[in-house]
Amino acid sequence: MLTGIVIDASDVARMDRFWLDATRGRTGGLRLRFVPAAKPKAAHKNRLHLDLAGGPHWEAEVARLLTLGATRVDIGQGDVPWDVLADPEGNEFCVLRPGHPGVLADSGLVAICLDVAEEDRDAQWAFWQSHADWQAVESHHWGVRLRRTPTSTVSLVMGPPAAPKAGRNRLRLEVTRRDGQPGEFLDARGNEFHVTR
């Protein structure tokens, strides 16, 4: 079952503190686990990121996140109904505004977003539905949304645009399984993920 995200960090304590404050400790049962990294984040966009619901006072929420150490980033998003920020080590995340489909679908920590090219969507959907033990609840031109249960407040959204794979992913999904070998593996399109017991 998909239970968390592993995040490489140059300063594990600082990143843990930032994300605890950024999510207000509400991650819908999803564990964010930070592990020491030898190198800082590269300039390219991560293939995995988090979307947070900004709520009716999204501008104040963005200001709060900036105060915590986030920065605004431009990844070529253009004029969109969300704000793109980066955590203190440069990992991108989005703050969704009211009315965004993701906000209407979930609450709290809105989504884990995995970049998937349109032609890879079916393979990734099948892979993650099987490995995460989450079910598809939506399928649209923009991608597929999976949830652990129909009432879960966290979802996994897979869709374009897909960032090119440039080295090991800094953010990786984590799956807990009672059977099977723990370790790091690759999904259907070469993204690393962790298996724990």
Tell me what pLDDT residue 154 has: 87
- Whole-prediction pTM value? 0.92
Tell me what pLDDT residue 46 has: 95
62: CB partners within 8 A, 6+ apart: 54, 83, 85, 95
Under-50 pLDDT residues of the chain: 105
**Which one is the CATH code of 2-196: 3.40.605.10, 1.10.3720.10, 3.10.180.10, 2.60.120.10?**
3.10.180.10
Q: How far apart are CA 15 and CA 4, in angstroms?
A: 15
